[in-house]
């Protein structure tokens, strides 16, 4: 995958965005699943945890969040004095939509005293009902930080929850049955097929994937190559791809990350476990929408303070751990 600099109208659009950024003292944060041209534009590119940390530390007056709605909400709660813009209000998340605050309150009532660990892919209202947030890169550390005698409610991703439970051995951990429709669509059978086609490749699996738990099991059983099967966050995948001596990788996550992997490692080969694993929400943000967000101050993401004040503690715990 060759990396090309923007030219023609795209170059003019990029120049306008940079000018607006300077005028408004803005920073652009972008997730690893964004379109290549948006990744190229970002001041900070990363996974959910890296972007949350960047949002907490920035001295910019305006944060343009090229991601999905819950990410912009998180940035807004960490920076109540700053303006947080989401270039497209329709950039949602099927996983975040899989649990509501009312559902969580009902679940908590069934398990009084349990510690609630919410994946960052949740709404502000759900975070406000939680004790800890986590991302795929620090979920294991968050769970391990909780005393072993405390019951845990882990939500909303069942694949990440099952993976964390297997690694930590926590028997008193209950898991919400939610999923990301894109990651859930990456199945073990697809992984096996691609591995047969690329027998020397390393397998990099995001823990949200429908194949994550089975990959850990199959690697332990010798069906998958244990020394070449890695369960990693998107940020972890990028780091591993650069440090590994392997020359070929099968990547089981949303395909947007392949652009950055190839850019950073031009001599290596990256193959999608499922080429159709494309998040339509992440792809809604375009250069035109980033320009319009800066030019017209749209769309401003805010969270009511009564919700934000309760959610902020869980988010800050997430940022501090792992």
List residues forming the annotated binding site for iminosuccinate. 31, 48, 119-121, 136, 206-208, 234
Cβ burial of 282 (10 Å; 0-12, 13-18, 19+) is buried
**Total Cβ atoms within 10 A of residue 106:** 10
* CA distance linking residue 111 with residue 158, whole number of Å: 18
Task: Give binding residues as ranges.
Answer: 31, 48, 93, 119-121, 136, 180, 206-208, 234, 279
Q: Are 313 and 291 in contact (CB under 8 A)?
A: no
SS3 label, residue 157: strand
Q: Using CA atoms, how far apart are residues 9 and 29, in angstroms rounded to an integer?
A: 23
Quote the strand ranges of the chain, DSSP E: 26-31, 44-46, 62-66, 83-85, 115-119, 132-134, 152-155, 173-175, 202-205, 229-231, 248-252, 269-272
Measured distance between the N- and C-terminal CA atoms of the chain, rounded to whole angstroms: 33
DSSP code of residue 98: G
Query: Which residues line the annotated binding site for [4Fe-4S] cluster?
Result: 93, 180, 279
CB 136 within 8 A of CB 143: no
User: Which of 183, 173, 235 lies closest to 208, judged by CA?
Assistant: 183
Residue 56 contacts by C-beta under 8 Å, 6 or more apart in sequence?
Answer: 78, 79, 319
């Amino acid at each position: 995958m060759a990396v090309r600099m923007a030219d023609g109208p795209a170059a003019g659009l990029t120049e306008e965005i940079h000018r607006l950024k300077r005028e408004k003292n803005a920073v652009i944060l972008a997730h690893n699943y964004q379109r290549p041209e948006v990744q190229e534009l970002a001041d900070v590119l990363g996974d959910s945890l890296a972007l949350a940390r960047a949002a907490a530390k920035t001295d910019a007056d305006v944060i343009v969040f090229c991601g999905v709605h819950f990410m912009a909400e998180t940035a807004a709660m960490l920076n109540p004095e700053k303006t947080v813009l989401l270039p497209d209000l329709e950039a949602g998340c099927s996983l975040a939509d899989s649990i509501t605050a009312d559902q969580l309150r009902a679940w908590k009532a069934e398990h009084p005293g349990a510690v609630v660990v919410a994946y960052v892919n949740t709404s502000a209202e759900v975070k406000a009902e939680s004790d800890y947030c986590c991302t795929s890169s620090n979920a294991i550390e968050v769970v391990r930080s909780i005393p072993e005698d405390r019951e845990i409610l882990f939500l909303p991703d069942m694949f990440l929850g099952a993976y964390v439970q297997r690694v930590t051995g926590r028997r008193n951990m209950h898991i919400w049955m939610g999923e990301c429709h894109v990651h859930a669509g990456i199945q073990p059978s697809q992984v096996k097929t691609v591995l047969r086609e690329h027998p020397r490749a390393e397998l990099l699996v995001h823990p949200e994937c429908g194949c994550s738990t089975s990959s850990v099991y199959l690697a332990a059983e010798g069906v998958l190559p244990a020394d070449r099967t890695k369960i990693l966050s998107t940020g972890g995948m990028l780091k591993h791809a650069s440090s590994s001596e392997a020359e070929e990788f099968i990547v089981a996550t949303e395909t947007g990350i392949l652009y950055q992997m190839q850019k950073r490692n031009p001599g290596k080969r990256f193959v999608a476990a499922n080429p159709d694993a494309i998040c339509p929400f992440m792809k809604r943000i375009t250069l035109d929408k980033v320009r319009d967000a800066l030019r017209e101050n749209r769309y401003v993401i805010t969270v009511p303070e009564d919700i934000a004040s309760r959610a902020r503690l869980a988010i800050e715990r997430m940022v501090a751990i792992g």
